[in-house]
Structure 1
């Protein structure tokens, strides 16, 4: 998809738009009528505003797949150093790899920060030792296995609504209440195909699934309910952080004494600027991705918030220059680009 000219008018979300985005962070599948009631706006306004943001590629609700169901190994963080002048060419090749889930152009010694999720049917060793290092223009790579997530992207909320409205929306949130799906092969063909549809559109209705797959709405509703309640699919909002007042993306790695890692993770998971938080291999066991209002907010986070955590021995941070891909959706400036296809796959099946 071609990039928009930097001279083009930058989209702006108004107060009603921002309220809708904040509400969808709490309850991505909330019905339009309920959304309008909570926000105290006409149903037609809520429907029209949401449709406009989706049509203009400013917002998309997708389904996050439980990563243990779709990957052949744990994910990895990659710090990639390109030869001078080759960063854009390296990026182009990286974005061709479907296992690349997240890419951020960064300042600092490494110019690209990547999250690699080896998908079913992919060989993580080949990706790490041949495919990616073999891209022309790459001078060095540093990979670290993500051992365990403490906070994932769909847990982040755009904190704008008051407690009363948030509580009302939480009644429409899709929680996990059923037993987990352990293996994609445990799903029926209908459930697997429904999972694929939810991945593309986290707000798809049972009626829409039924029409697409040729089953009744009640049958489709049961499939959706199983997938969402089991956590196999978690609806999540995708929108560029800059549209919400967070133009600065940052990656921070923290060296914490082993006995203090758990406390640091608990504190950081509750921090409003932290989107993604993990325990990783390497000399600094805690890694996070955050969004900030600007350099001053990042400085406060590093100096005051991290400085107050027990056991922190050192901190390294890099500022993001441009977000290129997040959760398999490419970015086009402030707009969302194409979604990577065939992330959901079975290596031994034609489904």
Structure 2
């Protein structure tokens, strides 16, 4: 007899609370989350494991490259027929990409790249252009983020009340706090946390050869300076958002700030930034269906003063999910 497929996991209120709690503090102990949510530690641990399977939940440590003086680029690549999947897979395996997505039409890839060590010209203008699968490439430097980074989209689902948010939120980054000079130990910690933001202290100790107190002190220093924060990777379908779109907004220069600030407040927006190029603002959005996307573009975007035109494309698939590493 054939075993029937498992029933799809329907997210309930506790699932949504856990997702938002992890967005607020990706390394919060299950015991702390349980106390705030009024459930047992075992319940939180069990829900966490289940969400890993149902929505692809992963907590990832992210480095704010902007604070380290490194630039971030959005690169749109047009590919030869049947080449987009192969190119997207190759880009996803690179350590300097944080987001890779396939756009509608099947011949375009959009990725976020953080070149290291002044390699922008060589990577963006030479290596990618010489790739046989690429027919054209457009690179836009992120000038100013309006939404994204430490403030992820899960903060907009309002699953937690104000008191719960306050109990779980990590302390704000102090703007005047000195930035740490990263050494080999810091880089090792960051590399491990990029793969698993909740990696155990014992594993961090073993990889660095440092004591528990030293590892904790290093983590506190990286987090308090803003160099390290945590983001939650997940699929959007079970959260009722099956349509993901990329929007390029041509905006009057005098309206860049007001348009960006408005976009940041929209519940549909998971990332928005001022970028170089003709389209001065880029936004990534999520919607229940294409009708809702139409309404958002015609009414939500259409109501913003200073927006002259909008180009839109749908994401067919996310290959690598973190949209943006630099912070505020």
What is the TM-score of this pair, normalised by structure 1?
0.80
- Which residue does 2:21 correspond to in 1? 23
Asked whether the equivalents of residues 255 and 283 of structure 1 are also in contact (C-alpha less than 8 Å), the reply is yes
Q: Structure 1: how far apart are the matches of 2:176 and 2:205? A: 24
Question: Which stretch of structure 1 is more off in the superposition, 204-213 or 169-178?
Answer: 204-213
- Which residue does 2:66 correspond to in 1? 68
Asked whether the equivalents of residues 106 and 319 of structure 1 are also in contact (C-alpha less than 8 Å), the reply is yes
Q: Structure 2: how far apart are the matches of 1:187 and 1:289? A: 31
1:92 CA drift (Å): 3.5
Asked whether the equivalents of residues 249 and 289 of structure 1 are also in contact (C-alpha less than 8 Å), the reply is yes
Q: What is the aligned-residue RMSD (CA, Å)?
A: 3.0
- Which residue does 1:336 correspond to in 2? none
1:240 CA drift (Å): 1.5
Q: What whole-Å deviation, never above 9, does each CA across 1:21-74 have from its counterpart, x for those lacking one?
A: 122223323221221122222221111221343477821111110113667x52
User: Does residue 1:325 correspond to 2:316, yes or no?
Assistant: no
- Which residue does 1:244 correspond to in 2? 239
Partner residue of 2:111 out of 96, 110, 114: 114
User: Does residue 1:292 correspond to 2:290, yes or no?
Assistant: no
- Which residue does 1:339 correspond to in 2? none
Unaligned 5+ runs, structure 2: none
Q: What whole-Å deviation, never above 9, does each CA across 1:205-262 have from its counterpart, x for those lacking one?
A: 5565445544443332221111111101001111122232212111101111111111
Number of residue pairs matched? 319
Instruction: Say if 1:76 and 1:161 are closer, same or farther in 2 by CA, change over 3 A.
Output: closer
SS at match of 1:29: coil
Correspondence list, 1:1-351, <5 A: 12-15=9-12, 16-54=14-52, 58-68=56-66, 73-107=70-104, 111-120=108-117, 123-158=119-154, 159-161=156-158, 164=161, 166-174=162-170, 175-177=172-174, 179-180=176-177, 182=179, 186-204=181-199, 206=201, 209-210=204-205, 212-327=207-322
What is the TM-score of this pair, normalised by structure 2?
0.85
Q: Structure 1: how far apart are the matches of 2:221 and 2:24? A: 20
1:269 CA drift (Å): 1.0
Q: Structure 2: how far apart are the matches of 1:10 and 1:75? A: 41
